Structure 1
Amino acid sequence: MMTRMNVSEMEPKSYEILLAMEKYLATTDLSHRLRELIKIRASQINKCAYCLEMHTKDARENGETEQRIYALSAWEESPLFTDAERSALHFTEQITEISKQGVTDEVYENLKKHFTEQQIAQMIIAIGQINFWNRIAVSTRMVH
């Protein structure tokens, strides 16, 4: 598969903004571990090989276990994830697939048991950001 185009070369100012958002997200109250789980799960749903390769590597380098990475696509059945992580992963799935049913009250209320409103707002931004990256990578056929 060949890359169709290089968005960063075509739109360098846009890329600067996206990278600035990544720097901001690194300063939020969301743990690095949770941010990587969100990025990997959204990328699995979006079938973004480029982002999956990048974020599974980043997750491992920052202490995430192989077992949890392998089990992430089946997080609902795996005992390896905390209740807070499960709520964030469910939220990630519903935002990533928002056209299916939106975000249900049940998922949102469960999320509020584990995260502050500030953290939920940060999570919405983080989920939107990885979905945007996935759309760039998939539509342009970025190769890892």
Structure 2
Amino acid sequence: MSVTPRLKQEDFYRIAPAARDALIALGKAVDASGLEKELTELLKLRISQINGCAFCVNMHLGVARKLGVPGAKLDLVAAWADADIYTPRERAALAWGEALTEFAHGGEMDRAFLALQQEFSQDEIAFLTAAIANINAWNRISVGLRFAPILGG
């Protein structure tokens, strides 16, 4: 399979600045919500892994490292459910992220939401859900257009 970009990131930004700006604005709203940036970056990393987005995995690994997220949490996030190093809050957010990304139905989605309610306020749940929707949108753009990861940056 070719990994040649279908459209380069900078070309997408040039062609669709309003779309780019809308997604960036949503990310800024989440950042301003008071949710822990370390948590949201861990969530973005896991969702990007699920979606197979090399561009976003690379980017969010870099951001998480700069924020000081422990390396073990970054290394094990793909298997977070089987690793006891995540806080109940992180586990609830990751479960909700996976449920929404994989469109879990019925009991699984309900269980994830109940766990979320134990750890997050209603306002936080709204912004976590927005963060999940936002990274899924970025992943679909990046994967669909085959944005190349920016290495060494």
> Above 0.5 in TM-score?
yes
Counterpart check, 1:143 vs 2:148: yes
1:95-132 Cα distance to aligned partner (Å, 9 max, x none): 0011x426622111111010001000101100000000
User: What's the Cα RMSD here?
Assistant: 1.2
What TM-score results when the alignment is normalised by the length of structure 1?
Answer: 0.94
**Do the aligned partners of 2:30 and 2:128 also contact (CA within 8 Å) in 1?**
no
TM-score of the superposition, structure 2-length normalised? 0.89
Distance 1:7 1:120 in 2: 31
- Please state how far the C-alpha of 1:29 moved relative to its aligned partner: 2.2
Q: Out of 3, 6, 13, which is 2:5 matched to?
A: 3
Q: Distance in 2 between matches of 1:123 and 1:64?
A: 18
Equivalences for 1:62-81 in 2 at 5 Å? 62-81=67-86
- Residue 91 of structure 1 pairs with residue 96 of structure 2: yes
1:101 aligns with 2:139: no
Amino acid paired to 2:70: T
Q: Detail structure 1 runs of 4+ shifted over 6 Å in the superposition.
A: none
Unaligned runs of 5+ in 2: none
Cα distance between partner residues in 1 of 2:100 and 2:140: 14
Q: Percent identity?
A: 34
In structure 1, runs of 5+ residues without a counterpart are: none
